Amino acid sequence: MDISVPLHGKVALVTGSTSGIGLAIAKTLAANGADIALNGFATADQVATILQDMRTETGRKVEHFPHNLADFAEASALVSAVSSQFGKIDILVNNAGVQFVCDLDHFPDDEWHRLIAINLSAAFATTKAVWPQMKSRGWGRVINTASTLSFQGEPGKSAYVAAKHGVLGLTREAAIEGAQSGITCNAICPGWVMTPLAEKQVKAKAEALQVSFEEAARQVVRADMPTGRFVAPNEVAAAVLFFCSDAAKSVTGTALPIDGGLLVLGAYQVEAAK
């Protein structure tokens, strides 16, 4: 994908960027000139490899911050740590997310709290912490990884769906409050992307249906996505890059589905069932 947006001199914090969508976003922003603060869980060897690859490929400053976003105080501390090591944060991508699938009546309370903390409260904590510096410089980009499940429900995903709806509310609120200060806030809403988070769900489906992983993956995509294929992480990253550009300075408070038509198919299915 050949789109370039000059981000030289900008510092981006991407939460949940040790794998999947977040890693693709971090790599894309670095390839376009931004210095990068990574965050998320991984082994020491995995972190060392990611840092070395990204530094070699892009020549940018790239560091890893292991803060656990399940803890509200650590989410704020992450912004402080990155700001003191890099001098500032211009771009905040709230991407860290986890899933837990269980029917409502058996949904464990601690999983509810964990999902709301990581998927929603952490985004509030980091946004609040970064806000004063973005306001004082008159420039900022906040991009939240929401989901197609910010618009609709799915059985067994009460905490995730509630959190992702909340992420959209937070996005809209930040957009309004940042509008006079050169800060935009937008949400990306991916459909199925084959990452460790999605893999776990496909594996569970394969076990439930007694089919291979590949067959379960095919069924998930065929049922949900008119394009018939998973969204690639770098397609999501390209949307984030656009939101970071000056061309997008009037684009704020939006929620961009990158979903292979999943949401319009959902509307069609509802119409067809009437």
Distance CA 262, CA 192 (A): 9
x/- contact string, 103-142, with ligand NAD (CB under 6 A)?
---------------x------------------------
Among 11, 14, 21, 91, binds ligand NAD (CB under 6 A): 21
Q: Is 195 a binder of ligand NAD (CB under 6 A)?
A: yes
Residue 207, token pair as written in the block: 């076990």
CB 203 within 8 A of CB 213: yes
Whether residue 268 lies in the annotated active site: no
Q: Is 16 a binder of ligand NAD (CB under 6 A)?
A: yes
Please state, in angstroms and as integers, the Cα–Cα distance from residue 201 to each residue in 51, 80, 99, 165, following that order.
29, 35, 9, 20
CA-nearest of 12, 35, 185 to 89 is 12
Size, binding site for ligand NAD by CB under 6 A: 27
x/- contact string, 199-228, with ligand NAD (CB under 6 A)?
------------------------------
Q: Is 20 a binder of ligand NAD (CB under 6 A)?
A: yes
Among 9, 108, 153, 196, binds ligand NAD (CB under 6 A): 196
Among the listed residues 65, 131, 160, 243, the single catalytic one is 160
Distance CA 60, CA 56 (A): 8
CB 86 within 8 A of CB 61: yes
Which helix (H) or strand (E) segment holds residue 240: the answer is helix 233-244
Q: Please identify every residue annotated as catalytic.
A: 160
Query: Binding residues for ligand NAD, per CB under 6 A?
Result: 16-22, 39-41, 68-70, 95-98, 118, 145, 147, 190, 192-193, 195-198
